[in-house]
Amino acid sequence: MNIHNKIKMLVIDHDEYLKSIKNIFDDIADMLTSTSGEESLVILENNKIDVIILNNITSDLDAIHILHYLKLNNDLSNIPIIVLNDNMNDDFVKKCLYAGATEFIRKPFVNSLLKNRVNRLLDYEELKKSLHHHISEEHNLIHENVKRSKILLKEMAAALSKTIDAKDRYTSGHSERVAEYSHMIASCAKLNKSDINKIYYMALLHDIGKIGVPSRIINSQSKLTPQEFNLIKSHTIIGASILQGIDIFPELAIGAHYHHERFDGKGYPQGLKGETIPVLARLIGVADAYDAMTSQRSYRNALAQDYVYDEIKKNLGRQFDPDFGSIMLDLIEEDKDYQLCESNSKEKLDQRTT
């Protein structure tokens, strides 16, 4: 973030935290304040706001109403929003995420934490703008050289995926492998050629939202707290926010948003069930789970092929789409030498950590 050009921040708050927030951001932000939802909407209509800090005005309902308004307004839907609240139960968090919140911080908060979160949100907004810019440039090149533009798009998506994978030294290459498995499943499923081509890029960028999750949480070797797990889950929302609005490839956001939904409705972020989950996201979910089980992790070694096979079979129609899960089982049966996955992983892990 360039601190020489101050950002414009809207703080919707009315309590003792307002003065503290002003002091935190005085050096980087021109701050506008509001004490009500109606006043906030007037400010938003007349100013270009870079980030919003939303305190619980009078009730949970007020916060949800404001979030819904922002999400439904195309001109405002991409503004990152931090919710300050002492109510961090799962139902409230889920409501706010679905309504459009980007981050949560429990009150009372640590000043440095709030400032770091804002800086991080602004950083990935810059990443999103850069991504949109580069993909728009690629779109212009299509008319001149279709083959060249496809190569550049693949290289750019691969570079972005490697940036995300680099946050976790144990999952190097995860995005590329998930893209490869997804492409194999799609081909075996005899999807139309357009979807087979799209699925690779959707899977390659499915975890891009992890740019908004602190590395200490991604690399944690201990059991996550509920708040930390909510941050991990938010990578689906963040990823969709980064990728949505890329007009030449709107499907990119689908994989990022829905790859952790489960066929039985027990997934996240929205708890979609069965065929209400977008078909290509269901496919990516199978490939993602296979690679997660067959990769070295900070908390365990790669799992045996037979065990992975049984886990997928056991969860057909539960975690996994039955059709795509069955295709993955066929691919595993054909993989007699366990070449599909990264396993044999000690040598690869040694190479990555030297």
Whole-number Å distance between alpha carbons of 234 and 212: 8
- Domain spanning 144-353: which CATH class is it, in words? mainly alpha
Query: How large is the average pLDDT for residues 57-72?
Result: 69
User: Is the confidence at residue 349, as pLDDT, over 50?
Assistant: no
Question: What is the reported pLDDT for 35?
Answer: 75
Contact 194, 103 (CB under 8 A): no
> 244-270: per-residue pLDDT in tens?
877 777 888 999 999 999 999 999 999
Examine the pLDDT at 51 and tell me if it is beyond 80.
Answer: yes
The residue-averaged pLDDT of 109-117 equals 80
The mean of the pLDDT values for the chain is 80
Q: What is the pLDDT of residue 129?
A: 76
The Cα–Cα gap between 158 and 138 comes to: 15
Residues 310-321, mean pLDDT to the nearest whole number: 96
The rounded distance, in Å, linking the Cα atoms of 86 and 229 is 17
Tokens found for residue 159: 């570079």
The burial class, CB within 10 Å (0-12 / 13-18 / 19+), for 236 is buried
Is-contact 276 141, C-beta < 8 A? no
Residue 307: pLDDT over 60: yes
84 and 55 Cβ atoms separated by less than 8 Å:
yes
Q: With pLDDT > 70 as the criterion, what percentage of the chain qualifies?
A: 79
Mean pLDDT is highest, among 65-79, 200-214, 316-330, for: 316-330
- Asked if residue 213 lies in contact with residue 231, where contact means CB atoms within 8 angstroms, the answer is yes
Which of 270, 258, 249, 244 lies closest to 207, judged by CA?
Answer: 258
- pLDDT tops 60 at residue 351: no
Closest of 59, 51, 57 to residue 36, by C-alpha: 57
Higher-confidence residue: 202 or 134? 202
Q: Are 7-124 and 144-353 in the same CATH fold?
A: no
Spatial contact of 289 and 320, defined as CB atoms under 8 Å apart:
yes
Task: Quote the pLDDT of residue 102.
Answer: 82
Q: What pLDDT score does 287 carry? A: 96
User: For residue 345, is pLDDT > 50?
Assistant: no
Alpha carbon distances (Å) from 245 to 34, 163, 183, 188: 29, 21, 24, 30
Segment 305-323 shows an average pLDDT of 94
Segments making up each domain of the chain, as ranges: 7-124, 144-353
CA 250 to CA 60: how far, in whole Å? 32
CATH superfamily ID and name for 7-124:
Response regulator (3.40.50.2300)
| Digit-coded pLDDT (tens) for 199-224 | 998 999 899 888 888 877 877 777 88
Higher pLDDT, 307 or 86: 307
- 32 CB-near residues (< 8 Å, 6+ apart): 8, 9, 10, 11, 43, 47, 49
